Amino acid sequence: MSAPPSMAAAIAASLPAPQSAPTPAGPTYEAIPASMSKVIDIEADIPLACVQLDGMVVSKIIKHAREAHGTSAHGVLLGLDLDGTLEVSNSFPLPHHINDDDDKSVKGVARYQASMLRSLKEVQADDSVVGFYQAMALGSFYNQTLVETQAIQQEKLRHGGVVIVHDISRTARGNAAFRAFRLTKAFLDAYKRNNFSTESLINHRMTFSSILEEIPIRIRTSPLLGAFLDTLSAPSVSAEPSFAKPSSALPPSFSVLNLGTNNVSKNLEQIIEAMDAYKTEEGNLAYMQRQIAREKGKADAYVAKRKDDNAARIAQGLAPLPEEDVSRLFKIPVEPSRLDSMLLLGRIDAYSKTLEETSSTALVKMYASRGSAVV
């Protein structure tokens, strides 16, 4: 079953399509200085080596993911690429329609995104789309919608754009998790051809680990913001003598004392569900393989029988029977795509890595709490 194309189709509809350059009289610009020619990448020849997120973008994504329902939070990233670094300076969320039809939702999201880009351009803010962000839980970012949306972006954006994945489950435990991905060249070529057969996967040595490639992320905050956070976290001491203890604007957080056992049980449930889905998908693929083998066997038997009949007729001095198109006589099914199986394996791997990290941290906390209780 294919995922609803609301997000991918909306982004595809609102992204600028390549057009023939008109020749109206416009302003003239000076040539780029030689000292900046190696930094400003006009032709997009410098490969991306890093993604730099502004502190405001991080705050916006966390706020949107916290206020949205589940993992429905997604939005657009704005910025520019400079000397191999994709600088994300702004972002805005996209609406999520639950009860609307797919076509109505796609058109509404596309109109909203185009309106936001026009408004940002009017105030001379960054309006260049460089990717999108998606909130997820427990590492479940291997899905059809993300792959489809990123494939569209890598065709229309400079450097292909990136997708920023935000793990809301880790953020709830006090660790803001952001990762940047894009599709690998081998997977994108196979996706364009829509060829995910068994033979193609073997020839290209393609597995779930070769679907996405991760790009390093660094977060940039201004010195003024850093000084403000230091002021909030530092205890404030009154000028007048007082017996009260100094307090800070930010209250202390005791989230680190949580053992995190609830996340472990939820993570196990997610792994079991993914394993069941993978088992069902493999069963469907095996059934289709048996159908293909059965129809191919019938076609091969028919061709062999026709050859024997023609040989007998030639021996009797008769004209051989005309050859017929086997594909018209026998409907041999097309080999099913294994893309869904690859995505399910990637999801299981992501769940397992999250479980390993969560359980190891919880185990250390349990031993620490047990030791403190004994003391």
**Assigned domain for 25 exists:** no
Task: Give just the sign of the alpha carbon dihedral 38, 39, 44, 48.
Answer: positive
User: Both tokens of residue 160?
Assistant: 């292909």
Give the separation between CA 8 and CA 345, rounded to whole angstroms: 22
| C-beta separation of 284 from 336 below 8 A | yes
| C-beta separation of 136 from 165 below 8 A | yes
- Strand (E) or helix (H) holding 307: helix 261-315
* CA 212 to chain CA mean position, Å: 8
The structural domain count of the chain equals 2
Do residues 92 and 140 both lie within one domain?
Answer: yes
Do residues 61 and 181 both lie within one domain?
Answer: yes
Tens-binned pLDDT, residue by residue, of the chain (375 aa): 444 455 566 556 566 554 444 554 444 545 555 555 555 555 566 778 899 999 889 888 988 888 886 667 889 999 888 878 888 999 998 887 655 556 677 788 888 888 998 998 888 888 888 889 988 877 677 888 888 888 888 888 877 789 999 888 777 777 778 989 988 888 888 888 887 887 888 877 888 888 888 899 998 888 877 777 677 666 655 545 544 455 555 565 555 555 556 667 778 888 898 899 999 988 988 888 888 888 888 888 888 888 888 888 888 888 887 877 777 777 777 778 888 888 888 888 888 888 887 777 667 766 666 665 555
Residue range of the domain that includes 58: 50-224
Do residues 58 and 142 both lie within one domain?
Answer: yes
User: Both tokens of residue 368?
Assistant: 């620490």
Do residues 204 and 337 both lie within one domain?
Answer: no
Give the separation between CA 136 and CA 209, rounded to whole angstroms: 19
Do residues 216 and 278 both lie within one domain?
Answer: no
| C-beta separation of 264 from 362 below 8 A | yes
For residue 7, give the DSSP letter. Answer: H
Q: Which of 200, 224, 248 is the last residue of a domain?
A: 224
- List residues bridging with 91 in a β-sheet: 77
363 vs 81, 124, 207, 257, CA distance in Å? 42, 51, 32, 12
Give the separation between CA 91 and CA 57, rounded to whole angstroms: 6
